[in-house]
């Protein structure tokens, strides 16, 4: 693959998430950042950046596991 393009599988493996999660994120960004090669979707650097930014935001919004603090 081109150095500037990533497959959904490559990005999912890099981020440690499922391909379905990446497909969902791809559906939320502009199609101008997604290149179709036959039946394969390739993500541009901008698409990868947007997906990584969204993942970072979601991780910050996750509730913290506080219940273990008062268990004995």
| Predicted pLDDT of residue 61 | 73
pLDDT of residue 4: 86
- Residue 5: what pLDDT? 94
CA distance 48 to 25: 10
Average pLDDT across each block of 10 residues of the chain; the chain has 72 residues. List them in order: 83 94 93 91 95 86 62 50
Return the structure tokens found at 66. 């506080």
**Cα–Cα dist 72/37, whole Å:** 56
State pTM to two decimals. Answer: 0.76
Region 1-52: CATH code: 1.10.10.10
Residue 59 has what pLDDT? 79
Domain ranges of the chain: 1-52
**How confident is the model at residue 68, as a pLDDT?**
58
């Amino acid at each position: 693959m081109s150095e500037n393009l990533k497959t959904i599988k490559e990005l999912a493996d890099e981020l440690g998430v499922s391909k379905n999660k990446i497909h969902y994120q791809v559906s939320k960004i502009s199609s101008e950042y997604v290149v179709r090669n036959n039946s394969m979707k390739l993500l541009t650097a901008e698409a990868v950046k947007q997906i990584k930014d969204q993942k970072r935001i979601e991780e910050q919004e996750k509730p913290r596991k506080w219940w273990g603090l008062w268990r004995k």
